[in-house]
Amino acid sequence: FIDSLKNVWLDGHFVESSESNIPFLTHGLHYASCVYEGIRFYNKKAFKLEEHIARLFRSAEIMDMEIPFDEAGIIQSIEELIARGDITNGYIRPVVWRGSDSIATFAPNNRIHVGIAAWEWPSYYTKEKKLEGIRLGLSKWKRPNGDTAPIEAKASGHYMTLTLSKHQAMRDGYDDAILLDTNDAIAEATSANIFFSKDGELHTPKLGSILDGITRQAIFKFAKSHDIPVIERDITLCEISTFDEAFITGTACEVTAVKSIKDHTFNNNELVSKFIDGYAQMCGE
Ligand code: PMP
């Protein structure tokens, strides 16, 4: 897999992946002072690139890290990375982390590094699987609220409990897990936002304990242009039986139906298929 990482950009230079090693005493590794993005490109064009880079800079700022490049420079480097490579449909991973100058919690002057890698990554689920839907278990971990963790940032530290949740779900025979927030409202899946539908309306968890997904925002836009109301609110597990359909959204899973959450099965996927097709159109898949 590492050999397929032909295209790596590190601190302003294109390098071989074998040259992209980082020192053992890297602050980002020891203390999770690290933020990142995941971006798909279709037919050599990155989907919602400006939005992802804006979120990367916001995440870094929240994590007290000043990126030593501007947004336009990072965007240009990503476009060049895609153009140089021989991958048509793939994934871009920009990472920003605190370097190795001081290995203590106090490290405000450590150099901030930026690395970007590109690799080939077909859709996570086939079209059939996206329509058929995935099965979600329930994680024992809660997504933190804004007083407990920098929830708005796409920070690597969040992926500690998200990874544990995904592992447990797979071990239990599910495809993924859903996490609740600290008030027991539904938050999100391990790397995707969730939507429910009933009576032609979409309902989705409000911000506070979730990542504000770029795909989530694209769904809002698509829904608006099709006169489908979207309601952001607290949704409890007790009410999932009142919904007709459910689906998850994210750069990795794109738009994928949810077949079941624990023991509850959703029987319909009429609206979901509209959003699966709408998303494919938006990203020029
Ligand atoms: N929630 C979490 C926890 C995620 O990691 C992701 C993936 N970035 C999402 C939601 C979906 O975000 P996006 O649509 O921007 O990929």
User: pLDDT digits over 90-138, tens only?
Assistant: 999 999 999 998 999 999 999 999 999 999 888 888 889 999 999 999 9
Q: Is the CB of residue 7 below 6 angstroms from any atom belonging to ligand 1?
A: no
**Tokens in use for 186?**
């539904």
Using DSSP's 3-state secondary structure scheme, residue 252 falls into coil
Q: Is the CB of residue 38 below 6 angstroms from any atom belonging to ligand 1?
A: yes
Average pLDDT, stretch 165-180? 98
Measured in Å, residue 193 CA sits from the centre of ligand 1 at 6
Asked if pLDDT for residue 30 goes beyond 90, the answer is yes
CB 239 within 8 A of CB 184: no
Q: Which residues of 189-210 are buried (b: 16+ CB within 10 A; e: fewer)?
A: bbbbbbbbbeeeebbbbeebbb
Average pLDDT, stretch 165-191? 98
pLDDT band for position 46 (50/70/90)? very high
Atom of ligand 1 nearest to the CA of 193: 10
pLDDT of 54 reads 98
Task: Look up the CATH number of the domain holding residue 271.
Answer: 3.20.10.10
Are residue 38 and residue 159 in the same domain, yes or no? no
Q: Report how far residue 207's alpha carbon sits from residue 164's, in angstroms, rounded to the nearest whole number.
A: 22
Q: Report how far residue 241's alpha carbon sits from residue 237's, in angstroms, rounded to the nearest whole number.
A: 8
Asked if pLDDT for residue 18 goes beyond 90, the answer is no
**192: phi then psi, degrees, rounded to nearest 5:** -160, 150
Are residue 146 and residue 188 in the same domain, yes or no? yes
pLDDT of 17 reads 81
What's the whole-number average pLDDT of the chain? 95
Average pLDDT, stretch 28-41? 97
Q: Report how far residue 214's alpha carbon sits from residue 121's, in angstroms, rounded to the nearest whole number.
A: 18
Q: What do you get for the CA distance between the two ends of the chain, in Å?
A: 24
Q: Which amino acid appears at position 248 of this protein?
A: I
pLDDT of 5 reads 61
Are residue 40 and residue 169 in the same domain, yes or no? no
Are residue 200 and residue 91 in the same domain, yes or no? no
Are residue 265 and residue 131 in the same domain, yes or no? yes
Which residue, 99, 120, 141, sits at the end of a domain? 120
Residue 38's nearest CA partner among 211, 195, 168 is 211
Task: Look up the CATH number of the domain holding residue 9.
Answer: 3.30.470.10
Are residue 113 and residue 137 in the same domain, yes or no? no
Are residue 88 and residue 111 in the same domain, yes or no? yes
Q: Report how far residue 247's alpha carbon sits from residue 75's, in angstroms, rounded to the nearest whole number.
A: 30
Angle (CA) 20-152-22 rounded to 5° is 15
Kindly write down the DSSP assignment for every residue of 225-239, as one continuous string.
HTT--EEEE--BGGG
Domain that holds residue 111: 2-120
pLDDT band for position 231 (50/70/90)? very high
Q: Report how far residue 247's alpha carbon sits from residue 78's, in angstroms, rounded to the nearest whole number.
A: 30
pLDDT of 20 reads 83
Task: Name the DSSP letter for residue 36.
Answer: E
pLDDT tens, position by position, 144-166: 999 999 999 999 999 999 999 99
Which residue, 120, 135, 157, sits at the end of a domain? 120
Residue of 154, 224, 259, 274 with catalytic role: 154
Q: What is the pTM of this model?
A: 0.96
Supply the angle between the helices 49-62 and 214-225 in degrees, to the nearest 10: 130
Are residue 197 and residue 105 in the same domain, yes or no? no
pLDDT of 3 reads 52
Residue 226 CB-density burial (10 A; 0-12 exposed, 13-18 middle, 19+ buried): exposed
Are residue 206 and residue 150 in the same domain, yes or no? yes
**Which protein residue's CA is at the shortest distance from atom 4 of ligand 1?**
191
Are residue 113 and residue 150 in the same domain, yes or no? no
Are residue 201 and residue 251 in the same domain, yes or no? yes
Neighbours of 68 (CB within 10 A): 13
Which residue, 62, 86, 120, sits at the end of a domain? 120
Atom of ligand 1 nearest to the CA of 158: 3
Are residue 52 and residue 133 in the same domain, yes or no? no
Give the total number of structural domains in the chain.
2
Asked if pLDDT for residue 268 goes beyond 90, the answer is no
